[in-house]
Structure 1
């Protein structure tokens, strides 16, 4: 039995590639074909209708783009020719494009001016350089002329003449040096008498070109009507006060030059050549003149080249001896002034250097004020007087004004001076500061040393006071005398040698005097008694023997009423001197005791 296939309904219409509906073949009866077609069309519109409309819209836009591209291509082919033809007919195209081009250039410059600058640089650069060269040349010429007419005897005479006649100095110079100068040039249309162009020299008051050309035309017509000859003719020269007007006629225009001075005939030829050049270069503009002077603005540089001038050459004369004498005196006076100025400057620098080197002085400012030198700074009250340094530099105290503000200097030298003043130190005591420590040295009484030790704490600028190098003259004398005493002992024993009682008594007296002087100064005294031995014994024996001798000396001194607390017995085991023991006197000296004094409260 054959397998049954499932029944299927009619296939829907599907769009083909062109967008038309595609109907799948069906096996429906012929009678229902019309109804099925209508239903399928409705279903197709519902399913693919919007997409079909979008595809149609895209196709129409693509066709329009292709058409627009073809049109742009055709326009680009004929546009250059159309612009060239239109530009030849007139300036209407330029006027129409002018706003657009100006706006485009403006936006381009605002966005990025560099491309336009790079494009114009080859044109503007040379023009700017040429303009700068001409301006500098005119400036140098003006400066040279001014110097020539300002520093010579003749210029002084002209200045006097200007003051006497109430005229300006420039007018006097011009009148005495000028041969001639073209001050103004007028280019006038010959038919209408209207001014085409007008230029004038610097520092010349320009006249109304329309008024001048009208008057000149009227005078020209009057002369021709009144005095004209049958062959024709024209007015060539007019004089008005110090001014002369030369008129050079041409086919289309008249060149009128306003002159001052006495021009040479060559100037007439130059003006005639200038008029011919103007007619040659601007022939069409002159022939087509209709009242608009704009086309002639470009002729201004050419017309300005006719503003010529010639000055009288100065006669070079040999300088008179009087002039050389005056110059020599001026040089001498200048040298003397320079010498004294440099010397005074050197003296002032020396004075400032000494002020800087002086402890307790700080210079803050110096200079000139009211015709006098001044110096301003800080001064410690204990510093040297600044005015005392002036005589050594050669400066006059009346020519220097000083203003010093008091302050307390931390300079070590000033701290030492302040300590000497506060501690009321005698002249025999000096001070120095090292690493914040005030060190005193010299000789002074024990009472003053005790006073200094107490008051040194009032110096707030130091860390501590060290007066160990200061000695009392009396104590020093007693100390030196005691340390030089010699009490000898017998050989090999701690017994005094015969005849040493006087030396012992003298030693006791010195110790007693030393203790009394130290008590007055309220100082503590320590006396170190060092025992010695000659080289005759062994080291161990000599060590024991020297200790016994030191103790024996302390016992002998205490038996004479001296306090034992001030003594310290020390055995050295060594000779008292390094000298060789070549005789008995040297060996006897080594068999003695030595005394060493110290003051613990001070040192």
Structure 2
């Protein structure tokens, strides 16, 4: 009877399973599929309330969502910065103003603290005490300013002892070799001590270690340890906060800690939890009195005064340079460089015409005075019209029988002058930049030749022959294959023109006709026909230049000599030579 009952139960159970399979499907596929179809609507109805309840229960939602939001914002900044800027633009103005105001307030407060701690008797005592204790001044200040302060927080993997993540109060690079290596060495020793087996088989856990600089608080968990380096005397609430944090880390990163393979990038998002452990409490030395940051205000005023002084000096320098630059407006002066030294001494490099105003006289006329004037001056010939008038007056004043007049920037000379004086006058005018047929007219000037002496004809003939000899010594040298009249050649032609004018006036006295033979030549390089043409072209171009100076064409006879094959001169025979021919009337 019992066996029958047992068999019936088994059969009933089998029938029930078959019925479930028919209703729910193989492996509950029908109900699973139905739940998945309705899951989105079901979850959306209760998601807000569920998040609220979980956050209210243990605060873990914020710790999970914060890293996700930070990563999303970072991705948006890197890939969609334009859209993000457009969205934040209306807030930027007020944010910047608040940031600047907060920065200035913090700067003044820190400056005041620094000055008070550095420049006062108390600050000097603190420096001496820090030196005696073998710690840095900043660490000693922290110990005197704070009841306690968490400087560093490290998250260490329990099994391997590797650093998973770390944060510091001053945001220094957490990869700093000295800090990390020293902390890891200590922590590894602490882990060995904390979890070594006691004789009874129980693990001994080390909670606090005191070093020269820090108090190390350790809170171990099943798979990780959190270590805080604290200056001062940490209260119990710091230890409790570390315990809550290590529990939260094991809750959020349970699988990552168990499956840790040496890659700590998974724990980058744990920064927010670790930074919550950077706690601090300042000493309340004067709770009722609010100190005015006099040192900070004095420092800020001193900085502003220095900036104002530098701006004033810069402005005065610019004004001084502007005044000195007016010197270049004077005729015959070119400023190359101006250096102001200590707002008092001046170094100035200029080019000045000898007849231009001196720098000392100009400075005196402007009432400018310097303790030291370093003048680097070089002379040059200026063709400024104002200076030409001054120079012409100086030259012409040496010849009492000659008068001068400027018209359309051309100097016209009139009067009577001897040949020797005429030569001196023309030479001196040419040296100052007043040249015949450019800005000089000698046509009205009468050259007086003496006729009262018994030997005047012999004297005139002697002068006549001397001028012919001087003209024959003038030669123009040309480069290879060139026929162009250069500026240097113009100087020689101007001298020749003046001498020929003298000669022509003497010829009238001696009753002879004169002419100027202009002979062009070439060397023996190239073919003969080309050289013959080149030599003639050189002579013709020279005649044209003399005609431009005022020499009549009928007085000149250009000709081409062709090649000159004389051995000694064949390489220097690219020239134009002159000869005077004369016949009696």
> What TM-score do the two structures reach when normalised by structure 1?
0.43
Which structure has the bigger radius of gyration?
1
Q: Which has the higher contact order (CA 8 A, sep 6+)?
A: 2
Normalised by the length of structure 2, the TM-score is: 0.44
